Amino acid sequence: MEVFWRIKGRVQRVGYRRWAIAKAVEIGGISGYVYNSPTGDVLIAADGQNDKIYDFMQACFKGPFFARVDSIDYNPDLKQFFPTIEKGVFKTIR
C-alpha cells in the first residue's frame, strides 16, 4: 500500500523527519521519504503492508516529544513531489 500524507501542526524544527525515519525502521517493512514542505508541513511518502502503514500512521499522529500534530491528510497528488519509492529505504529528501 502506497500512501502520501501531509502532516500539519508544529512538525518542523522539532526533529520530526529524524523521528519518522527511526519509527519507520522500528516498525519495519516501510519504504519511503519524508520532506519538510516550504509551507511548514511535513510530507511523507510511504509504502508497505497495510498493517505496518496503519501502525506508522498512528505513530505519526503522536510524533516526537516537541511536535504537535493537528492533522494527517491523505493526498495522492503529493506523489509528484517525491522520487519513486525505493524498496527497503526510508529517508529524508531536501
Report the catalytic residues: 17, 36
Reported as half-sphere exposure (CB side, CA atoms, 13 A), residue 73 has a value of: 10
